[in-house]
Amino acid sequence: MAERYSSFEPASTRWLLQRVTAAFLVVVLAFHFFLLHFVHHAYEIEFAGTQARMQNVGYFATMVAFLVTATFHGVNGVFNALVNQGIDGTQKTAVKWVLVVASVALIAQGVRVAIVMAGF
Amino acid sequence: MSQSYNRGAVEDFGRWREFSAGMWAWIFHKFTGWVLAGYLFTHIAVLSSAMQGAQTYNETLQGLEGLFVVRILEIGLLAVAVFHILNGIRLLMVDLGVGLEAQDKSFYASMVLTGAIVVASVPTFLSEVGI
């Protein structure tokens, strides 16, 4: 029988959320990269085009969801990598709260930028 | 039913000689994850130039895109993102118990497919850039 091999304690909420966000991000990250590097080239990006895309409510909502899920997935992954490295106790608590604050700040800034881009 | 697996001190990089495909996949997934998480913060910082107005946004993005080194870094970012996506699909399948017996082959397939996509994308990433 194959053995389970994971960095996470199975059946925890964070473990499940990491998988759920992964499934979402696989699709949206591929879409994002394809749209902004192959359909539109990055060197051609201008504010007017960005604004036109962001004024589409579906696109705007997808990008905000992308930001939130990518932040959770990335920061949660980093946290678990550090736990795997052996951080514990006060160190673990400190790292957790630094990452929580960084995540909240990133999402807040990202949403502010998205609103400016869309002109809402 | 799943069972726990004591992998030992994977973080001891001196063990690289005994690494299996699954362990290489684990190391690469962590590495690419760190890069992508770090890039996310940088990306939002650069896009924040939109808050200074359309002209600043255009100048910031086009200024960066005019640098050869940025284009090379973008190819690196594509490599990292494609591997993380492909290996992420592989991990989701492993989590669901699908293809467990071929987990080493699917890792090699992820590597080969990543390489092919990255090589094929080079002309796109290097178009209209000065050296």
Instruction: Tell how many helices (H) and how many strands (E) occur in chain B.
Output: 4, 0
| Partner residue facing B2 (CB), from A4, A33, A38 | A4
Q: Cα(B58)–Cα(A48) distance, rounded to whole angstroms?
A: 9
Whole-number Å distance between alpha carbons of A89 and A91: 5
Find chain A residues with C-beta within 8 A of B78's C-beta. Answer: 33, 37
Mean pLDDT, chain A, integer: 91
Cβ <8 Å between B125 and A37: yes
Residue B20 contacts A, CB cutoff 8 Å: no
Which is nearest to B100 in space by CA: B110, B109, B90? B90
Closest to A65 measured CA to CA, from A32, A42, A101, A97: A32
CB contact residues (below 8 A), chain B span 40-79, against chain A: 40-41, 44, 47-48, 50-51, 54-55, 57-58, 61-62, 65-66, 74, 78
pLDDT bin (cut points 50, 70, 90) of residue A10 is: low
Tell how many helices (H) and how many strands (E) occur in chain A: 4, 0
**Buried/exposed code over A52-64 (b: 16+ C-beta within 10 A; e: otherwise):** ebbeeeeebebbb
Torsion sign, CA atoms B91, B95, B99, B105: positive
Chains A and B: how many Cβ contacts under 8 Å?
113
Average pLDDT (B77-101) is 92
Phi and psi angles of residue A52, each rounded to the nearest 5 degrees, phi first: -60, -45
Where does the pLDDT of residue B8 fall: very low under 50, low under 70, confident under 90, or very high at 90 and above?
low
Q: How far is CA A106 from CA A39, A41, A96, A112, B23, in A?
A: 27, 25, 15, 10, 31
- Give the CB-side neighbour count of residue B16, counting CA atoms within 13 A: 4
Q: How far apart are CA A47 and CA B53, in angstroms?
A: 9
User: What is residue B21's three-state secondary structure?
Assistant: helix
DSSP string, A34-75: HIIIIIS-GGG--HHHHHHHHTSHHHHHHHHHHHHHHHHHHH
The residues, ordered by sequence, that sit 6+ positions from B104 with a Cβ below 8 Å of its Cβ are B20, B21, B22
Measured in angstroms, the CA of B84 and the nearest CA of chain A are apart by 9
The pLDDT score that the predictor gives to residue B3 is: 47
Residue of B nearest to A39 (CA): B124
Average pLDDT over residues A91-102: 97
The stretch B16-44 carries a mean pLDDT of: 90
- Express each pLDDT in A66-86 by its tens digit: 999 999 999 999 999 999 888
Does A113 sit within 8 Å of B47, measured CB to CB? yes
B14 pLDDT above the threshold of 80: no
